[in-house]
Amino acid sequence: MQNIYLAGGCFWGIQGYFDLLVGVEKTSVGYANSNITNPSYEDVCTGTSGAAETLKLFYDEKKICLEEILGRFFSIIDPTAINKQGNDIGTQYRSGIYAKDLNLLEKCRDFLQKIQSRYDKPIQTEIKELTNYYLAEDYHQKYLQKNPRGYCHVDLSLALKPL
């Protein structure tokens, strides 16, 4: 199994969407690339932690490829927005792709270059090496499964449609 970390606004919607895809084996939500150890949600919301709300995604490459994951990710976020997705505003809501595997990050950069022409503005999604990932509090895990009418900036029905 391969893993990748995706940030695209509130992590509830990103997790809810990717949990519906065949080949996505396991997910969790947390805080990536924080400049403080084990930040809380409150710490992250201050904007001082440097952390991004992030989905940790494990996938089976025999069932879903990296290109499909990235294509689907870019179909549910606005990659040209800076520190904003939907109604979520702040540095913790920036879009980003993180991994420890530098080859995987290079493939992500190549993908981003290929799709840039689809957008009128420059893509702002950062692609960086993962320096740390701290699991978010329990109430954030699978939030939309527990709270089906909870806030979500992602149209989850898109997971059921081909790209």
Q: Are 130 and 55 in contact (CB under 8 A)?
A: no
From the candidates 10, 45, 108, 152, give the one annotated as an active-site residue.
10
Respond yes or no: is residue 45 known to be catalytic: no
In Å, how far are 51, 67, 139, 151, 154 from 144, measured between CA atoms?
Answer: 22, 26, 10, 8, 11
Q: Are 31 and 49 in contact (CB under 8 A)?
A: yes
Place of tokens 């290929």: 114
Q: Is 4 helix (H, G, I), strand (E, B) or coil?
A: strand
Please identify every residue annotated as catalytic: 10
